[in-house]
Chains A and B, each alone.
Chain A
Amino acid sequence: MSRKRFLDIWEEFEDWAWSLRNRCLEPLCYIEDRGDHLLVSADLPFVEKENIEISLTEDLLEINARMKTSYRFNRLGVVQRGIKFESFHKILRLPSRVDTEKARARFRSGILEIELPKKIQKKSIEID
């Protein structure tokens, strides 16, 4: 993912939990630091496992998930009223560099969990 694309999407979602342009919602999503790994979780209602795409670099995580049925806010809001939302999208800047090869994900009861082992560079220190 290019830096420019990342910043464009980041800006679009900065103040809104949805994007009209892309008809997508921002999922509730959190990063927990669990010492040797990060645990990212995201709530993805109306989504099935097969329709989730996860892209990962050492410091960025992107989640795209298509809903099995589109969702429309029939009465709620003003600008988002009547718009059919069809997917979730989220880009997260990770607080530590992670080992992309060792990342694992699972999806249960509408909640996606991604375990990201940290890239730890150990250096031995000699004692004088």
Chain B
Amino acid sequence: MKDSIEIIETTKLVTEKPVVIIGIPDIGLVGSIATFHILDKLKLEEIAHLESDKFPPVIVVHDKRPKSPIRIYGNKDILILISEIPINSSLIPEISRSLIEWFKTKDVSLVMSLGGIAHPDRLEIKKPTVYGLGTDEETDEILKKNDINIFEEGLIVGPNGIIIRDCMKNGIPSLYLMTESHYRYPDPGAAASIIEIINKILNLNIDVRELLDKEEEIKIKARDLMKRTEQSMKEMQKIREKEIPMMYR
């Protein structure tokens, strides 16, 4: 019985201080849409998946084969974590701890979690703005160098917040990139904005045109995951991100 969360490597990959990009279902499915697009464009291979008896009894089928819904793709420079199911809040701390231990074995140089910030006037916004939260001077410098608006005060609810906190505790430089997004509707436009920032940070050239051209198709395909994610966000009180924390100084 696997009470703990295991990361099973299906391909032995030699990495060279890779950057990790995390796309877990959240507001507007921004992280999920962005990471699916990146791994498709970079043609990354599946290298590992997460397993635990605590996970819901769900497998996904792709290319005629059963797969774990939480998987890692990558090459020697970039590792991408995707999840095709929302992550239950009770599992977040354990998943985060397992990931951090695995990142240490891979000598990860930077972790970037991708997410959305619900914007009430998203329909009025043509080009969503991306905000960033760093965990140390090195990541602050990345934000500054790439003219990324800094998220200075607020609340973060859900897996992305816990993962960057655990990265910070373990001395792994980490960034949480958030973009203005629809709350309950899949938002490929917001995902495109965040990929453009990743292009700048990692000096990549991932084309986002297809993401924008296929916006309507993506929204139809992402409908069921968005519905499940909305239920999960309700359970973890995601709405609290709209609150302003009381200053302590």
Contact = CB atoms under 8 A, between A and B. Distances in A.
Interface of A: 17, 25, 27-28, 30, 43, 45-46, 71, 76, 108-111
Contacts of B216: 45-46, 110
B184 interface: yes
A45 B224 CA distance: 14
Which of A28, A46, A109 has the most B CB atoms < 10 Å from its CB?
A28
B226 interface: yes
B223 interface: yes
A28 B185 contact: yes
Given A17-B227, A43-B185, A109-B123, A71 B219 contact: no
Interface of B: 123, 182, 184-186, 215-217, 219-221, 223-224, 226-227
B123 A108 contact: yes
A25 B217 CA distance: 13
A76 B63 CA distance: 10
A56 B39 CA distance: 44
Contacts of B220: 25, 45-46, 71
Contacts of B226: 28
A108 B125 CA distance: 12
Contacts, number: 34
Contacts of B186: 43
Which of B185, B215, B224, B226 has the most A CB atoms < 10 Å from its CB?
B185
A11 to B, nearest CB: 18
Contacts of B184: 28, 30
Contacts of A30: 184
Which of B215, B216, B217, B221 has the most A CB atoms < 10 Å from its CB?
B216
8 closest pairs, A vs B, by CB? A45-B216, A45-B219, A43-B185, A108-B123, A46-B216, A45-B220, A30-B184, A109-B123
A25 B220 CA distance: 9
Nearest to B183: A30
Contact of A71 (B185, B217, B224): B217
A105 to B, nearest CB: 14
Contacts of A25: 220, 223
B185 A111 contact: yes
Contacts of A110: 215-216, 219
B227 A45 contact: no
A110 B214 CA distance: 13
Contacts of B185: 28, 43, 111
B223 A17 contact: yes
A127 B182 CA distance: 47
A111 B186 CA distance: 11
B186 to A, nearest CB: 8
Which of A25, A27, A71, A109 has the most B CB atoms < 10 Å from its CB?
A109
B123 A111 contact: yes
B123 A45 contact: no
A30 to B, nearest CB: 6
B95 to A, nearest CB: 26
A110 to B, nearest CB: 7
Contacts of A17: 223-224, 227
Contacts of B215: 45, 110
